[in-house]
Structure 1
Amino acid sequence: MTIEIQFVKIATSETLTQYIEDKTDVLFKKYPWLIKAQVFIKKTNDHTGNHCMCEIEISAPGPRLYASSVEKNFEMAVKETLSDIEKQLKKRKQIFTAH
């Protein structure tokens, strides 16, 4: 269970790094079969005013899970992306228990 966080063309933030680690640790505890999480934090040129992007790719048995979101701040983007990942994990868990 490793978490790789990359800040793409922006300065690294210890508080944001800690926030991401805390939130992804919850997923790792809930789904112990997860292998690795890659998190990318970026700024975008979005015309709606939302410039903070978070992309998360989770390595697990089977195909990798991927989600991304663009929000007003990075914390909201991380929260939304993790919510999307959790929906995918719930579906994957149902498949595991069905077989």
Structure 2
Amino acid sequence: MTVNFQYVNIDTSASLSKLTEEKLEKLAHKFEFLISAQVYFKQDEKDHEAGKICNIELSLPGPRIFAKSNKKNYEMAMLETIDDLTKQLKKRKEVYKTH
């Protein structure tokens, strides 16, 4: 699976990219039909309490799957986003099994 990262108005983090890629690879092993992932890390200037945003869009057969989280650090946002994607992928896999 191909993973593309974009850091919007923040510095690039190799450790965050590596951790995210490891988590997405686990998803790719579990759900073989994944093609690629677009990962965006952003800073919300208006939200000083949380404001760390992680968007992930997965490319797969059929409609794309998207999830977004806003937490107080990027690691927590990324983990919550991947949890949301996992739930969506389980539902999608059930649809594939019925056909």
Q: TM-score range by the shorter chain?
A: over 0.9
Q: Which runs of 5+ in 1 are unaligned?
A: none
Which residue is equivalent to 2:64?
64
| Partner SS for 1:76 | helix
The alpha-carbon deviation at position 46 of structure 1 amounts to 4.4
* Percent identity of equivalent pairs: 44
Deviations 1:10-55 (A, max 9, x none): 1101111111111111101101110000000000134461010000
Rounded to whole Å, the distance in 2 between the matches of 1:52 and 1:2 is 24
Which residue is equivalent to 1:95?
95
Q: Which runs of 5+ in 2 are unaligned?
A: none
Which residue is equivalent to 1:52?
52
Change in CA separation of 1:48 and 1:9 when aligned onto 2, cut-off 3 Å: closer
Normalization by structure 2: what TM-score? 0.96
Paired AA for residue 33 in structure 1: F
Q: Name the count of aligned residue pairs.
A: 99
Paired AA for residue 8 in structure 2: V
Rounded to whole Å, the distance in 1 between the matches of 2:52 and 2:76 is 9
Normalization by structure 1: what TM-score? 0.96
Paired AA for residue 44 in structure 1: D
